[in-house]
Amino acid sequence: MIDLKKEKINDDWYEFTLSNHFMSISFLNFGGIITKILVPDKYGTKENIVLCYQDYTHYETNPLYLGAIIGRVAGRIKNATIQIQNTEYKLDQNESCHHLHGGKKGFHNVLWDFNTFQEEDGIGVTFTYTSPDGESGYPGNVNVKVTYRLTINNEFLIDYEATTDKETVLTLTNHSYFNLSGDLKNTVSDHEVTIDSSRILKLDKDLIPFDIVEDVSETEFDFRRGKLLQEGFVSHNEQNQLVGCGYDHYFLFDQQTANQVIVANNDSGRIMKIKTNQPGMVMYTANGMQEGIRLNEVKSKKYLGVCFETQAPSASLWLNDLPSITLLPNETYKKQTIFSFDMVEKKK
């Protein structure tokens, strides 16, 4: 059985909840923000596995970008400048002299139009928004469609689609912080993560990628056989320390496994798999998380969640040999990320 509920939060905001026999997902039409994902542990207890503000008014500013759709360009753009067809465009400077996550008028604080739907094997909501030419400094009128869908097979699908009337740049993602311990009982230090990646982007002191590490073998960035996140937290690797003792790096997928990412927490028994047609992702372990913000269960602190921001790299704007984020008027941006959920150990 699958079900969709809609609750009015205020004059403009609605919270939708998609549920099946196993799990449920809740999200807002404001920012497309995912507020809750309830998944059972190995004893059958359903708990929230994403970070959520206790007071929903905090989503208006959302300093942590909790659960939101990120765009037009997810990630950092060096010096808040892009060049298209010999024309230079100045973007919002919202992180020192750089541009982060679409700027002040990013998709994380947009009120999206919506339509609900039900299919034979799932149920969902489609969000739409037209980003006008010049918004946050980007060229082109861009029509964006993002669909959230829950299936009877415990898959949560996010489909991204966009078109433009002028050459522009675009790469979208979702910025949910996951914590499989459930209801934020622990940090993510004991989460075991497997990533189909042998290459990462190296960061400078401003966290701007400046080079490609072609082989991560025998480093804290080699997750191909699985690794606990805490190994990066205590690492003396300069790249781990640079970002606040953890991870905030882009991983290029090798595209050699069915799931690009597998996350497991043995204490709760929860397991999450991520499959995508994106070329890579930023894994961020909340090393720089602002502390003391009241979340639904506890106050925010370092390492309380981990983001898996599947996307093409913004660094392709200044580094060669990376997947492009250019979108042309005769093209359709079409990307998908699938999160599937299970238990390491089934309830007996």
Q: List active site positions.
A: 175, 309
Beta carbons within 10 angstroms of residue 335's beta carbon? 21
Residue with tokens 């994106």, as numbered in its chain? 278
Do the beta carbons of residue 81 and residue 92 sit within 8 Å? no
- What distance in Å separates the CA atoms of residue 39 and residue 46, rounded to the nearest whole number? 5
| Cβ contact 193:64 at 8 Å | no
- CA distances in angstroms from 216 to 193, 212, 251, 318, listed in the order given: 15, 10, 10, 22
220 token code pair: 């804290």
How many alpha carbons fall within 13 Å on the CB side of residue 135? 23
Instruction: Indicate the helix (H) or strand (E) that contains 306.
Output: strand 306-311
In angstroms, rounded to a whole number, what is the distance separating the alpha carbons of residues 180 and 186? 9
Rg (CA), the chain: 19
Phi-psi region of 152 (alpha: psi -120 to 50; beta: other; left: phi over 0): alpha
Quickly tell me which residue has 């939708």 as its tokens: 16
To 10 degrees, the CA torsion angle through 63, 65, 69, 73?
80
Helices (H), 196-243: 230-233, 238-242
| Cα(152)–Cα(155) distance, integer angstroms | 7
| Single-letter amino acid code for the residue at 300 | S
CA distance 200 to 17: 36
